[in-house]
């Protein structure tokens, strides 16, 4: 006769051990929850505010993931092109260009730059790229470009100021105070400006301005300046007389001031002297045509 064998239930020790582990887990959870609750309660936020915060955080993460996927797959660019095409069909395309601030610059060159965009949809016009392109024009010191919906671009031009004329060989160029060439000019127009010449003179225009600023009384009388040997200046006055200055910015400025003081006392400009040599300032040597001794020495130019 078959007998049914009954396994014994969980041992008392095993059951007690299991219950002990469960109790430890419950205590640990309770301790953790209690610590987290105390920390949350210490912060100046309500439970509803925390709920909103975590909701927004989750949505932001999801949105970032969607944007990354769209960019990787090219969907963002496609959507942008589709939107631009729809905007152009609705009339949002460049049809007018308002140019402001031009005096010497030919406005046609600005129109040409504006209408040469790869896409004339108002949405896709690259304002910064157009601004950079406009700044390549010789007369443009700065430019501001703005959209005016539905179909207009507004361009404000800041022109460079003409300052002097640069002579290079037989050609004459109008330049700004920094030496930037603006345009070719005729000899007749060049008479209105000081003419600068000499190898490397274009890079010394600002230094020449600072030099002439040392003697404001003489500055209007200087009609030409020649950069000699890439180291010093010869100045020509409206009277046709020449002034040789020494090397070095400080020495040249001091010599020019010394000459201006001598001019105030002796009225040198417009006199019989054709050349004033101050390369060894403060001494000044003067050349007078027709004299046996063509060089006169002034020990103290002051």
CATH no., domain 164-298: 3.40.50
Rounded to an integer, what distance in angstroms lies between the CA atom of residue 13 and that of residue 21? 12
pLDDT recorded at residue 290:
76
Contact predicate 224/252, CB 8 Å: no
Q: What pLDDT sits at residue 83?
A: 44
| Contact between residue 278 and residue 302 where contact means Cβ atoms under 8 Å apart | no
Q: What is the pLDDT of residue 125?
A: 85
| Sheet with 152-159: strands ordered across | 96-100, 152-159, 140-148
Query: What is the second-level CATH architecture of the domain 91-159?
Result: Roll (3.10)
pLDDT of residue 84: 45
Question: What's the rounded Cα separation, in Å, for the pair 130 and 154?
Answer: 12
Non-local CB neighbours of 158 within 8 Å, separated by 6+ positions: 101, 140, 141, 142, 143
* Separation of alpha carbons 166 and 175, rounded Å: 7
Q: What is the pLDDT of residue 90?
A: 47
Cα separation, 92 vs 83, in Å, equals 11
Read off the pLDDT of residues 17-58 as tens digits, 9 standing for 90 and up: 555 555 555 554 445 455 555 655 655 656 666 566 667 667
What pLDDT is recorded for position 228?
A: 97
pLDDT at 87: 45
pLDDT one digit per residue (tens) for the chain, 302 residues: 444 444 444 554 555 455 555 555 555 444 545 555 565 565 565 666 656 666 766 756 655 665 566 566 554 454 445 544 544 444 578 888 999 999 999 999 999 999 987 777 777 788 999 999 999 999 999 999 998 888 899 999 999 999 999 999 999 999 999 999 999 999 999 999 999 999 999 999 999 999 999 999 999 999 999 999 999 999 999 999 999 999 999 999 999 999 999 999 989 999 999 999 999 988 899 988 877 444 445 444 44
Q: Note the pLDDT of residue 157.
A: 97
Cα 287 to its chain centre, rounded Å, is: 49
Q: Burial level of 255, CB count in 10 A (0-12/13-18/19+)?
A: buried
User: Rounded distance, CA 300 to CA 290, Å?
Assistant: 24
Predicted pLDDT at 211? 97
| First-residue to last-residue Cα distance in the chain | 146
Locate the domains of the chain by residue range. Answer: 91-159, 164-298
CA dist., res. 93 & res. 95, Å (int): 6
Give me the pLDDT at residue 43, please: 56
The per-residue pLDDT for 293 is: 43
> For residue 91, what is the enclosing H or E element?
none
The H or E element that residue 135 is part of is none
């Amino acid at each position: 006769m078959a007998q049914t064998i009954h396994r014994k239930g969980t041992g008392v020790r095993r059951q007690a051990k299991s219950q002990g582990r469960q109790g430890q887990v419950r205590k640990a959870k309770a301790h953790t929850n209690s610590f987290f609750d105390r920390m949350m309660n210490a912060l100046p936020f309500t439970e509803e505010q925390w709920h909103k915060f975590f909701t927004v955080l989750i949505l932001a993460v999801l949105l970032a993931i969607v944007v990354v996927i769209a960019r990787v797959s090219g969907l963002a660019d496609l959507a942008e092109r589709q939107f631009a095409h729809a905007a152009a069909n609705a009339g949002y395309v460049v049809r007018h260009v308002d140019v402001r601030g031009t005096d010497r610059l030919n406005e046609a060159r600005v129109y040409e730059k504006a209408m040469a965009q790869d896409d004339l949809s108002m949405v896709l016009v690259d304002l910064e790229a157009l601004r950079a392109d406009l700044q390549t024009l010789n007369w443009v010191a700065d430019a501001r470009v703005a959209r005016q919906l539905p179909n207009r671009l507004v361009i404000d031009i800041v022109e460079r100021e003409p300052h002097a004329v640069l002579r290079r060989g037989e050609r004459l160029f109008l330049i700004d105070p920094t030496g930037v060439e603006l345009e070719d000019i005729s000899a007749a127009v060049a008479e209105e400006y000081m003419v600068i010449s000499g190898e490397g003179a274009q890079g010394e225009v600002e230094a020449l301005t600072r030099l002439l600023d040392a003697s404001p009384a003489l500055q209007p009388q200087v009609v030409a300046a020649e950069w000699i040997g890439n180291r010093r200046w010869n100045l020509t006055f409206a009277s046709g007389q020449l002034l040789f200055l020494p090397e070095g910015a400080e020495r040249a400025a001091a010599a020019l001031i010394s000459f201006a003081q001598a001019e105030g006392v002796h009225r040198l400009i417009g006199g019989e002297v054709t050349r004033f040599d101050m390369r060894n300032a403060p001494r000044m040597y003067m050349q007078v045509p027709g004299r046996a001794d063509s060089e006169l020495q002034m020990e103290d130019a002051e």
